[in-house]
A and B are shown apart, each in its own frame.
Chain A
């Protein structure tokens, strides 16, 4: 792997992890909100 390829590899890994992390965090908040709302029913 050339240094350029390694940089690109790391960049993609990092951006994918960030998107995945944001996705999971969003669902944690959403499930919390759904739970609160449904408990009021």
Chain B
């Protein structure tokens, strides 16, 4: 008698790696590192490395849990159908256990090596992304990107607290910058990439509330970003170099969002202003956080005030 037993191959380690969303992690590592370097005080390089590693591992664990929960949705969308879970290269339970293991390990190591405040914020950020965002609010409200932006805003806050051991105004402002940056960044993309979120029941703003409303909201966040990005300078937390760079970058962001805000497009539009705003939004965040660190180095060495 012959029968075909489905062969269960052990998953390739690269599929576990893909589960951590390595490209998102690069931004997490960069902003976390900038928060750590811009904070007053010093941290031993080994401990600084450990703190960034924990932030990255926590983000990877949260990303794995996100994909475990959304495997069915991912299977229904062209962009995500080839991910390890929907394509069947990885078992669902393995993805869940991997995500939990990374999350728990990152929080424990952070607590033991760095401090329990940074560990507590890290734990909250993982729960926020995996449960509050992914499971609870993302499928229920077109404000999901605003809420998801909160998850992406934690790394610089955690990096800063890893050094200082306390939550002050400055790290909260770094959180606010990414929080208010995310909606215009993502919605600019959502305007020119026609995704199939609607097909799987995720209410994205351009589909749920319409393009005109989305464009106005992009403008609103771009306006808010000007004072928020410059606020670290206003409260005396940074020097002039950061302050002027933040104002210049945010005004450029605002200028690029104006044409996006007041346009109406047909279906065959090239979407140039939207693409330009999206491309600049990435440059904006990298430049802003890099200047934050440069400013700190200049002030510490007495080059600028």
Measured CB to CB, the residues of A under 8 A from B are 1, 5, 8-9, 12-13, 15-16, 19, 30, 33-34, 37-38
A interface: dominant SS = helix
Q: Is B10 on the interface with A (CB-CB < 8 A)?
A: yes
A13 to B53, alpha carbons, bound, how many Å? 26
A1 to B10, alpha carbons, bound, how many Å? 14
Question: How many B residues, CB 8 Å from partner?
Answer: 13
The 5 closest A-B pairs by CB, nearest first: A19-B13, A34-B113, A33-B46, A37-B46, A12-B10
Measured CB to CB, the residues of B under 8 A from A are 7, 9-13, 44, 46-47, 50, 53, 112-113
Q: B113 touching A38 by the CB < 8 A rule?
A: yes
Minimum distance in angstroms from B1 CB to a CB of chain A:
17
Minimum distance in angstroms from A14 CB to a CB of chain B:
10
A21 to B279, alpha carbons, bound, how many Å? 40
- Residues of B close to A30: CB separation below 8 A: 46, 50, 53
Minimum distance in angstroms from A36 CB to a CB of chain B:
8
A34 to B50, alpha carbons, bound, how many Å? 8
A13 to B46, alpha carbons, bound, how many Å? 32
Report which of B7, B11, B13, B46 forms a contact with A1, defined as CB distance below 8 A. Answer: B7
Given A34-B113, A38-B113: A9 and B9 interface contact (C-beta under 8 Å)? yes
Q: Which residue of B lies closest to A41 (CB)?
A: B44
Q: Which residue of A lies closest to B45 (CB)?
A: A37
15 A-B residue pairings within 8 Å (CB atoms): A1-B7, A5-B9, A8-B9, A12-B9, A12-B10, A12-B11, A15-B13, A16-B12, A16-B13, A30-B53, A34-B46, A34-B47, A37-B44, A37-B46, A38-B47
Q: B47 touching A13 by the CB < 8 A rule?
A: no
A1 to B12, alpha carbons, bound, how many Å? 18
Q: B10 touching A9 by the CB < 8 A rule?
A: yes
- Residues of A close to B10: CB separation below 8 A: 9, 12-13, 16
A15 to B9, alpha carbons, bound, how many Å? 13
A3 to B11, alpha carbons, bound, how many Å? 18
Q: Assuming A15-B13, A19-B13, what are 20 further A-B pairs, CB within 8 angstroms?
A: A1-B7, A8-B9, A9-B9, A9-B10, A12-B10, A12-B11, A12-B12, A13-B10, A16-B12, A16-B13, A30-B46, A30-B50, A30-B53, A34-B46, A34-B47, A34-B112, A34-B113, A37-B47, A38-B47, A38-B113
